[in-house]
Amino acid sequence: MPTTHPEHRQFLAALSQAQRQALTAKSDRVGLTRLAQHWGVIALLFSLITLKVTYWPLLIWPLGVLLVFQFTLLHETVHYTPFATRHLNEFVAYCCGFILCIPPLWFRYFHLEHHRYTQIPGKDPELATPKPQTPRAYLLHISGLPLWWNALQLLFTHARGQLDAPYVPVAKHAALVREASLMLAGYLCLLLLALVLSSAILLYGWLLPLLLGQPLLRLYLMAEHTDCAHTNNMLANTRTTHTNAAVRWLAWNMPYHTEHHSYPAVPFFRLPQLHELLHQHLQVTAQGYRRCQLGFIKRLRRLHATA
C-alpha cells in the first residue's frame, strides 16, 4: 500500500475480503462482557451512594462520568455493532437513551446523517450548532447546560408531533412521537415515585451525577471533529486521539474516531486492529485530550484578542 495519504475509500477498497470479514465480525459475548463491566461499576457506585457509605458524596462525580459516557455506547448501538443480536443493540440503545435523555431512534437518523455528510456545512447536522468561538462560549459549551435544554426541547417538540428534521423519514414520524411520549411518561412516573417515597436517590444517583459528569463528555467529544477540514475525506475531517487504556475503556474505543468514521461497520473491540492498518494514513491526530483542549483554547484566545 502506498505511504501517501489515501482517501478513506481507497483504503477500504484495498482491504481483502478476509480482512473485511475479520474486522466486521460481531460478538454478543464480547459485547455483553464489556457491558457488564460498565454497568457493573455504575451499579456498584449507585448502591454505595444509596447506602450513604462514608464519603459517599465523593462518588457522585465518578458515577456521573460513567453515566454520561454511555453516550459512546448509545452511539455504537445505533450502528448495531456492539452486539451480534440486533434486538440486543436496540434494547441497550433504549436504556442508554432513557438515562441520557436522548431519544435513540431519532439519534440514529441524526447520527447516520452526520456520518453521511461529516464536516460538510449545511448537510452535517452536528454543524448546525456552531462550535465555540469565544472563551465564554467555550465555557458555556463544556458546562453541558445548552445540551440539557436542547434535549428537553427535543423531547417535548417530538411528543407534540413537531418533526421537521430533513434526515428523519416521514414514515418514522409516528414512531418518533411515540418514543418521545414514552420517555416523558417514564420520567414523570419516576418523579411521582420519588415524591411518594420522599426519596432523593434520583437526585443524587442520577440527575446530579449527569450534570457533574457532562463537562468531561463535552471536552471529550470536542476532540472528534473540532478544527478538522470541511471535506468528505474521513482521514482529514475526523481526529483520532492517542490516549490511555482507561479512557479507551470508558469511551468504548471511540478515541479511534477516524477509524470508526472510515469504517463504521467495525465493532468497538476491533477498532484497535483497524487502527494498526490505518494509522500511517491518519491526517489529524492528537497526543491526549489535554493537549487537544489546550490547542483549542489557544486558538480561541487568539480569536478573542484579534476581535
Residue 202 lies in a domain: yes
Residue 3 lies in a domain: no
Look at the chain and report how many structural domains it folds into. Answer: 1
**DSSP collapsed to 3 states, the chain:** CCCCCCCHHHHHHHCCHHHHHHHHCCCHHHHHHHHHHHHHHHHHHHHHHHHCCCCHHHHHHHHHHHHHCHHHHHHHHCCCCCCCCHHHHHHHHHHHHHHHCCCHHHHHHHHHHHHHCCCCCCCCHHHHCCCCCCHHHHHHHHHCHHHHHHHHHHHHHHHCCCCCCCCCCHHHHHHHHHHHHHHHHHHHHHHHHHHHHCCCHHHHHHHHHHHHHHHHHHHHHHHHHCCCCCCCCHHHHCCEEECCHHHHHHCCCCCCHHHHHHCCCCCHHHHHHHHHHHHHHCCCEEECHHHHHHHHHHHHHHHHHHC
Per-residue pLDDT of the chain (307 residues; tens, 9 = 90+): 344 455 889 999 999 999 999 999 999 999 999 999 999 999 999 999 999 999 999 999 999 999 999 999 999 999 999 999 999 999 999 999 999 999 999 999 999 999 999 999 999 999 998 888 888 899 999 999 999 999 999 999 999 999 989 999 999 999 999 999 999 999 999 999 999 999 999 999 999 999 999 999 999 999 999 999 999 999 999 999 999 999 999 999 999 999 999 999 999 999 999 999 999 999 999 999 999 999 998 888 887 777 6
Residue 117 lies in a domain: yes
pTM recorded for the entire structure = 0.94
Residue 26 lies in a domain: yes
Domain that holds residue 287: 8-306
